[in-house]
Structures are given as C-alpha cells and as structure tokens.
Amino acid sequence: MNRWMNNPQYLAQVGHFFGAFSVVLICALFGGMHAVLISLPCVFVGALIKEYWYDMRYELPRQSFSDSSMDFVFFCAGAAAGLGLAWLKFHVLAAA
C-alpha cells in the first residue's frame, strides 16, 4: 500500500521540483517578472553546483552522474513550471 510514498528517490524528486518552483514563484509574487528572469540563472547555477559538485563529493551514499543528472532535471522542471506560472500571471492574466 502506497509504496511510491516510501521511495526516497521519489520524495527527493518532489523536493527538487518544488524547491526550484517555489524560488521562481516567490520571485514572481514579490519582485515581478524582472526578478523571475534574475532568479532563473541563479537556480540553474545553484542546482549545477549542488548536484555535480557538492552531492557527488559529499552526499552519502555516493551519487553517480546519472543520479545527479536526474536531480538536476527536476530542478530545471520546477524552474520551468514556475516560469510558466509567472508568464501566465504577467502576460495572459494581466491582459485580461
């Protein structure tokens, strides 16, 4: 029953997705579209450093390149979802 909730890899991907999503969304809510465009490269570079430098060196159990790549993809997916919501707020809903 509910085996997917007991999978730590699934929970990690949800955390990576919503971590990046929340950073971009908070920037959209409090800073506007300009802040979103600044936050995107920061999330991208921060995720690169975290996944490919920190996690591959210091996280236990040792992370492989494919593990870090999957985590990085979920960071990027969360940032893209946040960008999509920000675009919707500032360009579609603002015009209505």
pLDDT digits (tens, 9 = 90+) for 43-92: 999 999 999 999 999 988 888 999 999 999 999 999 999 999 999 999 88
Question: pLDDT band at 39, cuts 50/70/90?
Answer: very high
Rounded CA-CA distance 43/45 in Å is 6
Instruction: Name the residue range of residue 44's domain.
Output: 16-92
Q: Which residues of 24-59 are buried (b: 16+ CB within 10 A; e: fewer)?
A: bbebbeeeebebbeebbeebeeebeebbbeebeeee
Q: Is the residue at 9 inside a domain?
A: no
**Is the pLDDT at 2 greater than 70, yes or no?**
no
In a domain, 20, yes or no: yes
- Inside any domain, residue 8: no
Whether pTM > 0.85 for this model: the answer is yes
Confidence of residue 4 (pLDDT cuts 50, 70, 90): low
